[in-house]
Amino acid sequence: MSRHSRSSKVTSLVAAAVATACAATPAAADEFSWQLSGGTSQVEVGDFDSDSWSVDATYFIEPIDDSAGPYALASFLNPTTRISAEASERNSDFARDPSAYTLRGTYVLPAARWYVGASYAKTNDDDTLPFVNQSDPKGYGVLAGRYLGPNTTLELGLGRSERGYETVGGFCPAIGVPCTPVPLSVETTTDSVGLEVFHVRRFRSLTYSLQGRVSESDADVDITFSTPPPPGMLLPSGGEALRVYSVAGELYPTDRFSVRIGYSRPDGGNFSSDSYDLGATWFFKPRIAVQFALGHSKVDDVPAELGGGKSESAAVRFIGRL
């Protein structure tokens, strides 16, 4: 299937979802129990580009009242237990095209002070490589958070992702020279931890939010050989831990419209980079919104012939509530 035909199907799907939500939307905002969204994005890295689409649905156990405060903050200002599901797919020039599925759940304890959550994600990587059997990546996550007053949350999250592959007939540790293939299997496990604070403040008729996050991930590579490896064979390792700092702010001039700006920078690993994003959300109807986002990233010390380490992204997403 061509990328153009896939994009057309995604566009039709999003349009149908928005039309359905419009038909079911009351004239004024009140309470809603479902939030549906779908969108598409594009990333350009040098001469290569990647397109992706995603759809998701969230069900709130207790209906949410969005009559007070910005519509985009309704689920934050009215915490309630929820479950959600998401499906996505990426089509790119420089990597395989996996599809991914994610399930999430968040339970809000009585008095709406503490909440806990869990998630599970699985990626279907249909592309195959010669002489390699690979398992589909999967990931798990848990979180715990607390409302420090009605407008501030502090959240701690833990995650783990796993993927593996094994060679069929063996792995040759050198290219271009005679060697004996060595059968092996590789399991990569990445553990992550993140701490995030989110704060909303109202100043007269103006509302704004501030967000800060620090996360760290560490990969461990386990290699098993069917036969003893040759002496001096170079083996991959997980490398050093990667820590990422992120900050963002969002301004809500009206209940229907908001503008967001964000920045992130990693610390550790084998590279350094700066990433910026700018976005806007507009509820052109009380239950229907469109989001736009632009992103820019620059990796340091990348030669110009390799694109200079720059990447640009653009995304659009539609949101409907029922």
Q: How confident is the model at residue 93 (pLDDT cuts 50, 70, 90)?
A: low
**C-beta separation of 281 from 291 below 8 A:** yes
* Secondary structure in 3-state letters for the chain: CCHHHHHHHHHHHHHHHHHHHHHHCCCCCCEEEEEEEEEEEEEEECCEEEEEEEEEEEEEEEEEECCCCCHHHHHHHCCCCEEEEEEEEEEECCCCCCEEEEEEEEEECHHHCEEEEEEEEEEECCCCECCEEECCCEEEEEEEEEECCCCEEEEEEEEEEEEEEEECCCECCCCCCCCCCECEEEEEEEEEEEEEEEEEEEECCEEEEEEEEEEEEEEEEEEEECCCCCCCCCCCCCCCCEEEEEEEEEEECCCCEEEEEEEEEEEECCCCEEEEEEEEEEEEECCEEEEEEEEEEEECCCCHHHCCCEEEEEEEEEEEEC
**What number is the average pLDDT over the span 95-105?**
84
Say yes or no to pLDDT of 5 above 70. Answer: no
pLDDT given for residue 26 in this prediction: 45
- Mention every residue, 6+ apart, whose C-beta is less than 8 A from residue 303: none
pTM of the model: 0.81
The CA distance from 137 to 134, in Å, is 9
pLDDT single digits (tens) 109-161: 988 789 999 999 998 876 556 566 677 789 999 999 999 998 999 999 999 99
**Which domains, from first to last, does the chain contain?**
3-321 (2.40.160.40)
pLDDT given for residue 238 in this prediction: 57
The chain-wide mean pLDDT, for the chain, equals 83
pLDDT given for residue 307 in this prediction: 58
Q: What is the end-to-end Cα distance of the chain in Å, rounded?
A: 33
Q: How confident is the model at residue 14 (pLDDT cuts 50, 70, 90)?
A: very low
Phi/psi region, residue 21 (left: phi>0; alpha: psi -120 to 50; beta: rest), is alpha
How big is the chain, counted in residues? 322
Residue 127 exposure: Cα atoms within 13 Å on the Cβ side: 9
The CA distance from 167 to 165, in Å, is 7
pLDDT given for residue 164 in this prediction: 82
Instruction: Report residue 172 as tokens.
Output: 């040759």
Say yes or no to pLDDT of 31 above 80. Answer: yes
Share of the chain above pLDDT 90, in %: 54
Calculate the alpha carbon distances from 229 to 112, 118, 168, 183, 223 in Å.
Answer: 56, 40, 16, 9, 11
Instruction: Report residue 174 as tokens.
Output: 């050198």
**What number is the average pLDDT over the span 19-47?**
74
Say yes or no to pLDDT of 24 above 50. Answer: no
pLDDT single digits (tens) 239-283: 678 899 999 999 999 999 999 999 999 987 666 789 999 999 999
**C-beta separation of 26 from 287 below 8 A:** yes
Share of the chain above pLDDT 70, in %: 74
Q: How confident is the model at residue 180 (pLDDT cuts 50, 70, 90)?
A: low
Residue type at 201 in one-letter notation: R
Largest Cα separation within the chain, whole Å, is 75
More confident residue, 228 or 242: 242
Q: What's CA 319's distance to the chain center, in Å?
A: 17
Q: How confident is the model at residue 4 (pLDDT cuts 50, 70, 90)?
A: very low
More confident residue, 248 or 233: 248
**What number is the average pLDDT over the span 21-26?**
46
pLDDT given for residue 128 in this prediction: 57
Phi then psi dihedrals of residue 159, to 5 deg:
-145, 160
**Angle CA 100–262–144, to nearest 5:** 60
